[in-house]
């Protein structure tokens, strides 16, 4: 699940910048976006997946209703992924977004759950590992005649 949209990027910056970062593959027609919507969507999805990789330590991901801080971080990371020139202020914003995500994962920052912290966070020590694997083929009962 993507934590941001192209509209979020345009709201934070401008459509002109989005057009500069992701020019359309062909001249846009009437009603077509003036930027490469597929590329923008891929970069937003990549940014959201990167955030999920950090947040999964403490939360069930994806976060169903992303708070504004999470949307902003996704926008910053997507913009960084779209920016081919490596502008310093864009790289710095991406770095801050990663540091915030790491701090949330470490319990040093919140997603914005208020003064009591994140209500949806997993309690410490209650992290679960899920496994989806086929049934065992070689178990003790199946190898009974082969073991000594």
pLDDT of 115 reads 45
Give the pLDDT confidence of 28-86 residue by residue, as tens digits.
Answer: 666 667 899 999 999 999 999 999 999 999 888 999 889 999 999 999 999 999 998 98
Structurally, how many domains does the chain consist of? Answer: 1
**CA atoms of 88 and 98, how far apart (whole Å):** 15
Q: How far is CA 74 from the centre of its chain?
A: 6
Pick from 8-22, 28-42, 103-117, 128-142 the range whose average pLDDT is largest: 8-22
Cβ neighbours around 66 below 10 Å, total? 20
Residue 76 CB partners (closer than 8 Å, separation 6+): 47, 93, 94, 96, 97
C-alpha of 139 from chain center: 40
More confident residue, 135 or 41: 41
Split at pLDDT 50, 70, 90, the class of 128 is low
Residue 84: domain span: 1-148
The 10s digit of each residue's pLDDT in 30-45 is: 666 789 999 999 999 9
């Amino acid at each position: 699940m993507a934590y941001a949209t192209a509209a979020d990027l345009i709201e934070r910056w401008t459509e002109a910048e989005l057009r500069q970062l992701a020019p359309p593959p062909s001249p846009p027609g009437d009603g077509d976006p003036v930027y490469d919507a597929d590329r923008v969507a891929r970069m937003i999805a990549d940014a959201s997946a990167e955030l999920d990789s950090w947040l999964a330590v403490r939360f069930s991901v994806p976060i169903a209703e992303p708070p504004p801080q999470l949307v902003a971080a996704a926008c910053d990371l997507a913009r960084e992924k779209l920016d081919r020139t490596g502008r310093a202020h864009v790289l710095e914003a991406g770095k801050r977004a990663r540091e915030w995500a790491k701090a949330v994962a470490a319990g040093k920052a919140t997603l914005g759950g208020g003064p009591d912290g994140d209500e949806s966070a997993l309690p410490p020590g209650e992290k679960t590992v899920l496994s989806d694997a086929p049934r065992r083929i070689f178990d003790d009962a199946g190898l009974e005649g082969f073991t000594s």
